[in-house]
Structure 1
Amino acid sequence: MAAENDSSGNTVLGNGIGWIGTGRMGSALVTRLLGAGQQVSVYNRTRVKAEELAPLGAKVVDSAADLADCRIVFITVDAPASLVAVATALLGGGSGPRTVVDCSTVDAPAARTLRELAAKTDTAVLAAPVSGNAGAVAGGTASFCVSGPLDAYQQVLPLLEILGRSVSYVGEGDAARVVKLCHNMLLGVVAQTLAEVSTLAQRYGVTRTALMQFLNGSVLGSDFSRYKTPALLNLDFSPTFTTELLRKDFDLGLAAARVVEAPMPVAGAAYQRIQEAVTSGYRDADFAALLELQARAAGIELRPEGNAAS
């Protein structure tokens, strides 16, 4: 990939970066590239979301097909059907970009369709799902796992390093999709476990503040537990990642496990609770709302504690 330096000495990878999908996550990622001096053309089905990036320097195009002559095109969409639709538009005209970087979390058939379309235009495909929400992306703390041709990965790596603090190459083909599903299933299991132990402690008169202060200072404390502590204490379930999206990833992960007959007893149990949350009024709430569902099952009425235990 040809590269050049701008007047400030920043490395700019040509004029050929395209981006499909500028929702909450896509917009945050594009903003990081633009902030690093990259030149990005963007497309979104709802055009107004793409136009919000124009004042930052993005070029808005009318269709995914308009990005076919880019060197690299990133894709961030939220559903398998959306991925197939934009991939068909991008690659169905007989030519395509040098590399497509799919940052979506979709099922195996959709990922396979993308690769089949890309093969017809000699386009390399990298799967590069993101770990972290839009806030983490904006703060530079998101992580990427990437799979696909190693040479394509090495070419795209400078851009990925702008987008996140950690980039891990996990192998060929679609391996990154499986790694991301493993990650998100663990996320759901941990969230459900935190809900359970918080409810148990509260049954014995221990505040969530005290419990989380202890846990966060112990060997079990993590970036995740500390990040979710304010939501658990204040009962603020404004969505960073909804229970519905978490259910989608569990659906995909458990389906992948069935293909290779890998038992998932703990994840399977967590899935039932996540499903219950979706159908009990928490579909669009942050998945930390599992706490409220668990407390309700235990006959506890939660109240915000208004503190942060870090």
Structure 2
Amino acid sequence: MTTIGFVGLGIMGSPMARNLVTAGFEVTGFDLDAGAVARLAEHGGKPAGSVGEAVTGADVVVTMLPADPQVEAVVLGPDGVFETIEAGTLFVDFSTIRPDTSQRVARAGAERGVRVLDAPVSGGEKGAIDAVLSIMVGGTAEDFAAAKPVFDAVGRTAALVGPNGAGQVVKAANQLVVGGTYALVAEAIVLMEASGVDAAAGLDMLAGGLAGSRILELKRETMLARNFRPGFRIDLHHKDMGIVLDAARQAEVSLPFGHQVAAYVQAARSQGLGDSDHSALLAVLARQSAREEN
């Protein structure tokens, strides 16, 4: 496998495509943003003017798209991936979407003789840039093994977690934990600041103890500075929490804290923070306690 057709060169897709080029793959990329395509070409990739052009002749086709409607349109729709892709090709969808959408894509792929993996990632923009993403994969063991060189080029860890759709379930669980952790770190900051405590020193202590997390490691300084430049936008986490709650309904389980996290994320969007980093849950919680201006 040496040639990759890559569709979706956004915040996550662009660095992932560049890392594949660096790893020695021949990458042909397409995105509706012509600037993103041009930047990939500057890094050694090949520009494509359409989905079909990116897909034609590729050993592996990769998509990294925002949500279910884009995946359905780009993969299953007219002039989409499955209208061009050849039988036997490996198709890897790195997008975060509903499990049932991934299963539908896998069935459509099987009808065309295409091998399909759902492979949502965790790690945010920095993880994509540094090629240290965690990749949760749904599909067959044979196809997972075939895709391992691709996963190794863009991530630090990759695991097959079950059949098609299973990767999306694990990603939903990941986003539930991430959102909940952000909310709790935000509450800890509000509590310390309101109590006159040195919150920076306090978070340093938390990060070094049992409460430590990657979020505390990477985000505590920017959260204290109220720097919410997006690495992963609230709008996308809002979409992901919808997936979490939908998966819970399908599995018939109760996620009471998940509903609360989803409400916080919705509040952030309602307050105009949709384009901010998901650490902006701090702004929502601080406003609830009248610690910040609206």
* TM-score of the aligned structures, taking structure 1 as reference length: 0.89
Counterpart of 2:160? 169
Aligned residues: 289
Q: Percent identity?
A: 28
Structure 1 residue 268 corresponds to structure 2 residue 226: no
**Residues of 2 paired with 1:45 and 1:227: CA distance?**
31
In the aligned structure 1, how far is the partner of 2:100 from the partner of 2:145? 26
* Aligned counterparts, 1:162-241, within 5 A: 162-241=153-232
Q: Tell me the equivalent position of 1:293.
A: 284
Structure 1 residues without counterparts, runs of 5 or longer:
1-12, 303-310
* Contact residue 90 and residue 96 of structure 1 kept, 8 A: no
Residues 105-132 of structure 1 deviation map (CA, whole Å, 9 limit, x = unaligned) = 1124432332232122200110111101
Partner of 1:243: 234
Runs of 4+ in 1 over 4 A off after TM superposition: none
Match of 1:50 in 2: 37
Identify the match of residue 80 of structure 1 among 56, 68, 77: 68
Q: Is the 8 A contact 1:84 1:113 kept in 2?
A: no
Residue in structure 1 matched with residue 146 of structure 2 by the alignment? 155
Deviates more, 1:87-96 or 1:231-240: 87-96
- Could you give the per-residue CA deviations for residues 29-67 of structure 1, whole angstroms, max 9, x where no partner exists? 011111122111111122331121112211112221221
Distance 1:112 1:169, change over 3 A: closer
Match of 1:127 in 2: 118
Alignment pair present for 1:40 and 2:4:
no
One-letter code of the match for 1:172? P
Distance 1:198 1:94, change over 3 A: closer
What is the SS of the residue equivalent to 2:269? helix
Any conservation in 1 of the 2:58–2:89 contact (CA below 8 Å)? yes
- 1:189 and 1:259 map into 2 onto residues whose CA distance is 21
Write the distance in 2 (CA, Å) between the matches of 1:94 and 1:217: 49
State the match for 1:20 in structure 2: 7
Structure (1 or 2) with the larger CA radius of gyration: 1
The DSSP-based 3-state class of the residue aligned with 1:145 is strand
Match of residue 306 from structure 1:
none
Q: Could you tell me whether the CA contact under 8 Å between 1:98 and 1:123 is conserved in 2?
A: yes
Per the TM alignment, residue 94 of structure 1 is displaced from its structure 2 partner at its CA by 7.5
1:59 to 42, 46, 66: 46
Contact 1:68 1:90 in 2 (8 A): no
Contact 2:87 2:114 in 1 (8 A): yes
* 3-state SS of 2:86 partner: coil
Structure 2 counterpart SS, 1:168:
strand
The answer as to whether partners of 2:181 and 2:215 remain within 8 angstroms in 1 is no
Q: Distance in 2 between matches of 1:93 and 1:238?
A: 38
Q: 2 CA distance for matches of 1:95 and 1:39?
A: 18
Aligned 8 A contact 1:131 1:180 in 2: yes
Could you tell me how far apart the structure 2 residues matched to 1:94 and 1:124 are? 11
**1-side partners of 2:188 and 2:121: how far apart?**
28
> Who is 1:98 aligned against?
89
User: Matches of 2:20 and 2:86 in 1, distance apart?
Assistant: 25
Matched to 1:298, the amino acid is S
Distance in 2, matches of 1:93 and 1:17, equals 14
Question: In the alignment, residue 229 of structure 1 is paired with which amino acid?
Answer: R
Query: How many angstroms apart in 2 are the aligned matches of 1:196 and 1:94?
Result: 48
For the Cα contact (< 8 Å) 2:182–2:215, is it kept in 1? no
SS across alignment from 1:170: strand
In 1, Cα distance between the equivalents of 2:159 and 2:91?
17
TM-score (ref. length: structure 2): 0.93
Question: Does structure 2 retain, via aligned residues, the 8 Å contact 1:73–1:99?
Answer: yes
Q: Could you tell me which residue of structure 1 aligns to residue 18 of structure 2?
A: 31
Q: Secondary structure at the match of 1:220?
A: coil
Deviation string 1:231-260 (CA, Å, 9 cap, x unpaired) is 112110111111111111001110110111
Q: CA contact under 8 A between 2:138 and 2:166: conserved in structure 1?
A: yes
